[in-house]
C-alpha cells in the first residue's frame, strides 16, 4: 500500500525522460516521494498507465490536476522542449503555487540515464530555448590536430568560450589575443586549471595596431584564426560611428590582409544578425566586412568563412544580465518596446556551431546559425522576474523606454536579398546573396576608413550608405 504522506510528484512529459524520472523516484525511497501521475500533450497517451501512475491529461489541465491530487512538486521532463513550452510550464506551475524543477537537456539524456541528482531548478537559458547542440570533440580534434590557433577578442563571451572548446580539442598551440588584460587573465587561468600542459600564449594588444598584428602573426604563425574582437554595443556605435569603423572595419581588414600575407590557412569572422539589412552603425560595420570577404582576392591559400548569429544568453552587456541587475536593485526592469523580439542561444552552443562552421566551410560562405524562434523581450522580462521569485509589475515594475538609436524592433538573421540553403549540418545554413556588390568596393571601403580616421561622422555615414544598399545616412550621431 502506498504511503499517502509522501510528497506527490507530477511529471510533465511521459516520454523516455519522464519515465526515467519516475523510475528514479521509485528507486529512491529516501526521497519520501511518489509519482502521482504524468501530463503529456500527446492525446494517444491520455489514460495510459506508466509503472504505478497514469497519464492524467495534457498540460492545459495542470492546475486542476494539482488541486485535485494534492501535488507537492512538478518536474518538467521534456528535454527537447523549445523555450516557449518551458516558459508556459513555469507560468502554470507558479499560478498553481507548486515548486517545480526540470530535467537536464537532451544531450545529457543521450549520454546517459537521468539521475535524481541531475534534476535541478529551472534556469534562464531553459526559458529562452533548450540547448540541443553538443561540441563534437572528435571532429574538432581532427580539425585542430597539429594546428596553431589564434583567437581575437579572446577575453569576451564568445572568444573565451571558443578558447575553452578549442583547448578541449587539443591543438598544437593556442594564442589568446585581446586588449582587456583582466579578461585575458581570467580565461588563461580557466584554461590552465583544466590542462596545465596546454601550449597557450597571451597577447595584450589593439586590433588596429597594424605593427603589433604583423609581429604576432610572424611570431606564432597560426594556421587558423577566429576573429571575435569587435565593438558590439549598438547605441555606443551610433554615437561614434568613426570609432565603430576604425575598430570594426579598419582593424578587421588589417587583420585579414596580414593573415593572407602570413599564410594563415583558415580565417573565421564572427559577424552578427545585425549585419542583415543593417539599420545601425554596428551592424553596418559587420556587413562591410562580410562584403569585403566576399570580394577579397588573396593568395588563395586561405579559406575565409563568415558566421552570423544573434544574441548570446548571459554575454557581457546583453539584456539578460542587465535584467538580473535591475531585479536585484528592485527594478524597474527596462524594455525597449513591448513588441520587440530577439534571437537567443547559449554561449556554448554558439561557440560549438562556430567551430563546426569552420570545419565544414570551404571558403566564401556566410553561415547562419539556426537560433530557433525569436523571443519577445517583454515576455522574457516577465519570465525572468518570475524565475527570481518576484511578481512582475506588483513587486518589480517594468518600464518601456523606446528603441534606442540603431536598434530594430525585430532582428532578422538573413537579408531579404539572401537565399538560405541548408549545409551538411542541420543547425547551420548558408546565405547566398542575390544583390550586386557595388563597383570598386575595396576603394570605397578604404575611403570609409580614411573618413573615420578623420573623425568625420557625417561622411562616415554617407560612405556606409554607398557601400550598403538600403542603409540610411539620414541621421546625425549624438554629441
Mean per-residue pLDDT pooled into runs of 10, the chain (479 residues): 75 92 88 94 94 94 95 90 86 91 64 64 74 76 96 95 95 96 96 94 96 97 97 93 97 96 96 93 96 84 92 78 92 95 87 94 92 87 87 93 90 87 90 81 94 95 92 58
C-alpha cell at 325: 541587475
37: left (phi over 0), alpha (psi -120 to 50) or beta: left
| Alpha carbon distance 415, 410 (integer Å) | 13
| Alpha carbon distance 477, 479 (integer Å) | 6
| Alpha carbon distance 315, 156 (integer Å) | 8
* Strand (E) or helix (H) holding 203: strand 200-204
Would you state the pLDDT for residue 477? 47
For helices 377-387 and 319-328, give the axis angle rounded to 10 degrees.
50
Classified as helix, coil or strand, 392 is: strand
What domains are defined for the chain? 7-122 (3.40.50.720), 137-433 (3.40.50.720)
Would you state the pLDDT for residue 131? 57
What is the DSSP code (8-state) at residue 165? Answer: H
Q: Residue 228: which of 355, 371, 138 has the closest Cα?
A: 355
Classified as helix, coil or strand, 303 is: strand
Cell 537532451 appears where? 106
Q: Is-contact 158 106, C-beta < 8 A? A: no
Q: What share of the chain is helix, strand, coil (3-state, %, to 5)?
A: 45, 20, 40
Phi and psi at 42, nearest 5°, equal -85, 110
Would you state the pLDDT for residue 362? 92
What residues does 50 pair with on adjacent strands? 53
Q: Residue 422: which of 374, 356, 373, 370 has the closest Cα?
A: 370
| Alpha carbon distance 306, 289 (integer Å) | 9
Q: Is-contact 25 52, C-beta < 8 A? A: no
32: left (phi over 0), alpha (psi -120 to 50) or beta: left
| Alpha carbon distance 244, 288 (integer Å) | 12
What is the DSSP code (8-state) at residue 250? Answer: I
Q: Quote the pTM value.
A: 0.84
Amino acid at each position: 500500500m502506498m504511503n499517502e504522506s509522501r510528497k506527490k510528484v507530477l511529471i510533465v512529459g511521459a516520454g523516455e525522460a519522464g519515465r526515467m524520472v519516475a523510475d528514479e523516484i521509485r528507486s529512491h525511497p529516501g526521497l519520501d516521494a511518489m509519482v502521482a501521475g504524468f501530463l503529456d500533450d500527446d492525446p494517444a497517451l491520455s489514460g495510459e498507465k506508466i509503472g504505478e501512475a497514469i497519464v492524467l491529461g495534457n498540460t492545459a489541465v495542470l492546475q486542476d490536476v494539482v488541486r485535485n491530487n494534492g501535488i507537492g512538486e512538478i518536474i518538467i521532463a521534456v528535454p527537447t522542449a523549445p523555450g516557449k513550452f518551458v516558459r508556459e510550464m513555469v507560468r502554470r506551475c507558479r499560478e498553481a503555487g507548486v515548486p517545480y524543477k526540470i530535467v537536464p537537456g537532451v544531450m545529457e539524456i543521450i549520454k546517459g540515464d537521468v539521475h535524481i541528482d541531475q534534476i535541478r531548478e529551472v534556469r534562464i537559458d531553459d526559458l529562452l530555448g533548450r540547448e540541443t547542440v553538443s561540441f563534437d570533440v572528435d571532429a574538432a580534434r581532427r580539425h585542430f590536430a597539429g594546428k596553431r590557433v589564434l583567437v581575437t577578442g579572446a577575453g569576451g563571451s564568445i572568444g573565451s568560450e571558443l578558447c575553452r572548446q578549442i583547448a578541449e580539442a587539443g591543438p598544437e598551440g593556442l594564442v589568446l589575443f585581446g586588449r582587456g588584460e583582466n579578461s585575458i587573465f581570467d580565461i588563461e587561468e580557466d584554461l590552465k586549471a583544466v590542462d596545465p600542459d596546454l601550449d597557450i600564449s597571451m597577447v595584450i594588444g589593439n586590433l588596429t595596431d597594424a605593427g603589433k598584428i604583423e609581429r604576432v602573426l610572424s611570431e606564432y604563425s597560426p594556421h587558423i584564426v577566429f576573429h571575435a574582437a569587435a565593438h558590439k554595443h549598438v547605441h555606443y556605435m551610433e554615437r561614434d560611428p568613426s570609432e565603430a569603423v576604425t575598430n570594426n572595419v579598419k582593424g578587421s581588414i588589417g587583420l585579414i590582409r596580414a593573415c593572407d600575407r602570413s599564410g594563415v590557412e583558415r580565417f573565421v569572422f564572427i559577424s552578427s544578425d545585425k549585419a542583415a539589412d543593417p539599420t545601425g552603425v554596428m551592424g553596418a560595420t559587420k556587413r562591410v566586412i562580410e562584403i569585403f570577404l566576399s570580394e577579397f582576392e588573396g593568395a588563395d591559400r586561405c579559406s575565409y568563412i563568415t558566421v552570423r548569429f544573434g544574441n548570446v544568453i548571459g554575454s557581457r552587456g546583453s539584456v539578460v544580465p542587465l535584467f538580473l541587475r535591475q531585479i536585484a536593485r528592485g527594478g524597474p526592469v527596462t524594455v525597449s518596446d513591448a513588441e520587440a523580439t530577439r534571437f537567443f542561444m547559449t554561449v556554448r552552443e554558439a561557440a560549438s556551431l562556430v567551430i563546426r562552421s569552420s570545419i565544414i566551410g570551404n571558403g566564401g560562405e556566410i553561415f547562419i546559425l539556426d537560433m530557433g524562434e525569436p523571443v519577445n523581450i517583454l515576455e522574457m522580462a516577465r519570465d525572468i522576474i518570475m524565475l527570481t521569485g518576484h511578481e512582475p509589475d506588483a513587486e518589480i515594475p517594468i518600464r518601456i523606454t523606446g528603441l534606442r538609436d540603431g536598434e530594430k524592433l525585430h532582428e532578422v538573421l538573413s537579408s531579404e536579398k539572401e537565399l538560405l540553403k541548408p549545409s551538411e549540418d542541420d543547425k547551420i545554413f548558408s546565405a547566398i546573396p542575390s544583390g550586386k556588390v557595388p563597383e570598386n568596393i575595396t576603394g570605397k571601403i578604404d575611403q570609409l576608413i580614411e573618413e573615420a580616421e578623420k573623425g568625420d561622422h557625417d561622411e562616415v555615414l554617407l560612405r556606409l550608405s554607398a557601400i550598403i544598399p538600403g542603409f540610411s545616412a539620414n541621421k546625425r550621431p549624438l554629441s
